[in-house]
Amino acid sequence: MTLCSAPPNEGHDRGVAQPGSAFVWGTRGRWFEPSHPDQLRQASGENQMPAFYFAQEPLEESKPMQKKNPLKLNKLQLRTLALAQVLARDPAGAITDAETGEVTLTRLPHAHGNHVHVGAFVVSSKDASGFDNPAVWVALKRKGLVREEARPGGQVTLMPQGLEYDTGLGDKFLEPSDH
């Protein structure tokens, strides 16, 4: 048997509880009784159904919902990780360790003008500003997404968790490069 909530409005009429009302100037006084009941009303001759009942057949098993951004990365951390994931898929700029599943980015892109080239894409400099922000890499390391912070030489190693983390941004701000 499975615990389920009672079906809505099955033999019951429930109103909406409302606070009392008074005119702004208060001349009619406060109305203390709400217009709608806050209790279930019973139809004549019917037994009141409890708020929960036991179903005869179990409900369908549903997949647990994955929490969006479970590590609570901030916007800059999310953008930086999403761009690092794009770089990790580029064989020209990444080395994959088959044993550990880690990917080392051999160089991080730098802005020129108002944009940055990330693999085959062009990204706004503002969206890629996390590459040059040491605090972003420290936070990503602390959360187990990168093994080490970006070094001055421009390398960083993404852990398997960092490669698989769903930032929700993978396709939001990338445009194919035209130069």
In 3-state terms the chain splits into helix, strand, coil percentages (rounded to 5) of: 20, 20, 65
Tokens of 161: 């968790």
In the predicted model, is pLDDT for residue 147 greater than 70? yes
pTM to 2 decimals? Answer: 0.60
Alpha-helix runs per DSSP H in 112-159: 134-142
Burial of residue 118 (CB within 10 Å: 0-12, 13-18, 19+) is buried
Give the model's pLDDT for residue 50.
52
3 state SS of 79: helix
- The chain-wide mean pLDDT, for the chain, equals 74
Domains of the chain: 1-62 (no CATH), 75-176 (1.10.10)
Bridge partner list, 88: none
Confirm if 124 and 111 have CB atoms less than 8 A apart.
Answer: no
Percent of the chain past pLDDT 90, that is, above it, reads 29
- Per-residue pLDDT, averaged over 16-45, amounts to 56
- Per-residue pLDDT, averaged over 67-81, amounts to 92
What residues contact 142, with CB distance under 8 A and at least 6 apart?
Answer: none
In the predicted model, is pLDDT for residue 101 greater than 80? yes
